[in-house]
Amino acid sequence: MDCSSDNSDFLSLESSDCDSFHSIDSSTPTLNDTLSSIFQNLPKHFNVVHINAQSVPAHHTDLLTLASKDIHAILISKTWFNPSLSSGTYSLPGYNLIRNDRLGTRGGGVAIYLRSHIPFSIISSSPQPPPSNAAENLLIEVLLSNSKLLLGVFYSPSSSVDYFDSFEDTIDQFSPLYKNTIVMGDFNTCLLKNDSRSRRLLSLTHSYNLQNLYLNATHKVPGFTPSLLDLIFVSSPHLVTKHVQLPAVAFSHHDLLHLSFKAKPPKQKPTVVIGRSFGGIDHDSLLSDASKIDWSGLYDLPYLDDKVELFTSSITNLYDKHAPLRRVKLKHLPAPWLSDEIKRLIHKKNRAIAKMRTAKSDTEREKYKAVRNRCNTRCRDAQRQHIHDSVSNGDTSKIWKFLKNLGIGRSAQNIISSAIDINNLNSHFTCSPEFTEREVEGCILSISSDAVGWDQVSRAMILPILPAILQVITHIFNYSVTSGKFPTSWKDSLVIPIPKRPDPINFSDFRPITILPFLSKALERLIHSQLSGFLNKNSILDPLQSGFRPGHSTTTALVKVCDDIRRGMDGGQLTVLTLLDFSNAFNTVNFEGLWLWVASLYEYLSIRY
């Protein structure tokens, strides 16, 4: 067997070797404390943990107490995840969750929690559900400070699965591409036995220069012979500074494996945002200075873009004085409901289950149940209180943002008919009444978004001084309409890619979110109000259109379809429903043809008027 018992860098703690696993004394060290003490002198090494979790949803609280800045990757076998469970719900603060869920059947699944500041890419993941002759695996490429590393987690559902050929194919395809490889997992092949499975696994790994690190039995069930199922394979054993084996009774009968690899992880850079603090502003002084701005030069400017540029620079200079830009470091806080009291209860629960498994008595079982129930109740109460407090602040946008963090929620074109009188359409826009200050003010106040466009003029900057600048904004809006031009600077936007799925891989897994300048939204909303009023007044919209119309929605569309089907059935008619779903529909528009049509319409209006 490829392991040596004489290994000064190997540490194994058995339940019988440590009083902490036989006492419910809260002063004994927790699993996380034990790991931290072992690796506290190795902060610049890449530290990896593997655990057979037997359901992450059931042990998420235990994972929260396990995670720390000293552990860079947590490899999980038997996650029991499925696609309906959101990654956000079972996230760990400061980590990215990479998953390969078991599909079709309950149980199984593998995953990797990787520190969020460490770049990675998914190299390979086993097909799901796994074939009968294959195991589950997930391989990622990890970018360290001066090197790349292949990191993998492996899980075989049982000792009867002949996964060796598929495992060899995976290793053969990717391992030669990397100088350093680490593979950990539950292989369900006991290396304490000198049988055909153990010999085949060791022969296979030897052929690819992967060495098995020495471990004692890692799977210990009372009443059964201990077995060595959880394994660590590395391509560079000389870079292994320490590997540890610890009982993890809070999760399963499998030991937790921890490896410290002599490779420097990238230094975590603090997340720094640049913004203005509006909390300490003297509003009276701000409004006084805003009212003193001389806007006479703006009214005299002949070009709209110059007006907008002068307005933007004046507002920016005003706030540079009263709320200057400053750099703020963001902190990744732990689960807000995980108090010291709850951590002590979790620690107490883990000690109770260890004592129960050792003593094997009904008395200890009842003691464990009492501690477990008290701990679970306290955790649920704390989570519920945190959720209640977070959704009771009255701010709808913040409530939905919080709910999305919990994993709740997701995230036709009409051609103008030739029957429309072009003269009336042109007359409507050329003779539109000017926007009043009251209309502009109402429109600005109706916009609730705090998103900041590229011009950095936000809602929070406009509202406090709106009485002093309302006349100027109204002038710019009216000048835009009468000149037939939209401010060039307001056409630019910030486009942010938002993932449509928990673990995006392809470009199509993102959707773009466009953030426009705040005042451009107000101008567009006012113009939209005039345009929609004209369309409704002249009955131009199709009466069956449900999209982009007030009082209509997908519900009204479904009601109409269902009503048509029922009428057809009542009339004895044959009903056929055809549904079309256009992917990336906007980009399928013939923009050249659309532009030619708009240009011809503009030319027609220019000749007549």
Environment class of 127 (CB within 10 Å of its CB; exposed 0-12, middle 13-18, buried 19+) = exposed
Residue 46 has pLDDT above 80, yes or no: yes
pLDDT at 609: 40
pLDDT digits (tens, 9 = 90+) for 359-395: 778 787 788 788 878 877 887 777 777 766 766 666 6
pLDDT digits (tens, 9 = 90+) for 225-252: 899 999 999 999 999 988 888 888 878 8
SS3 sequence of 509-559: HEEEEEECCHHHHHHHHHHHHHHHHHHHHCCCCCCCCCCCCCCCCHHHHHH
Lowest mean pLDDT across 64-73, 146-155, 559-568: 64-73
**Average pLDDT for 281-290:** 91
Residue 306 has pLDDT above 70, yes or no: yes
pLDDT at 16: 42
Cα 12 to Cα 242, 293, 352, 353: the distances in Å are 11, 73, 21, 20
Give the DSSP per-residue string, 11-66. EE--GGG-GGGT---TTSPPHHHHHHHHHTT-TTSEEEEEEE-S-HHHHHHHHHHH
Lowest mean pLDDT across 247-251, 272-276, 594-598: 594-598
CA R_g for the chain: 32
Instruction: Pull the structure tokens for residue 185.
Output: 């997992």
pLDDT band for position 69 (cuts 50, 70, 90):
confident
pLDDT band for position 154 (cuts 50, 70, 90):
very high
**Average pLDDT for 245-268:** 87
Taking Cα atoms as reference points, which of 413, 420, 418 lies closest to residue 535?
Answer: 420
Lowest mean pLDDT across 59-63, 355-359, 485-489: 355-359
Residue 264 has pLDDT above 50, yes or no: yes
Residue 6 has pLDDT above 50, yes or no: no
| Mean pLDDT comparison of 52-61, 268-277, 325-334, highest-scoring range | 52-61
Which ranges of 418-485 would DSSP assign to H, the alpha helix? 422-430, 437-446, 459-462, 466-483
Say how far apart CA 206 and CA 339 lie, in whole Å.
Answer: 47
pLDDT at 405: 59
Cα 600 to Cα 341, 414, 595, 604: the distances in Å are 73, 18, 9, 6
Residue 462 has pLDDT above 60, yes or no: yes
pLDDT cut 90: percent of the chain above it: 23
Comparing 189 with 407, the larger pLDDT belongs to 189
Q: What is the dihedral of CA 584, 586, 591, 597, to 10 degrees?
A: 150
Lowest mean pLDDT across 65-74, 358-367, 419-428: 419-428
pLDDT band for position 347 (cuts 50, 70, 90):
confident
Give the DSSP per-residue string, 228-265. --EEEEES-GGGEEEEEEE--TTT-SBPEEEEEESSPP
**Average pLDDT for 322-338:** 73
The answer to whether the predicted template modeling score (pTM) of the entire model surpasses 0.85 is no
**For the chain, what is the mean pLDDT?**
80
Contact call for residues 61 and 84 (beta carbons, < 8 A): no
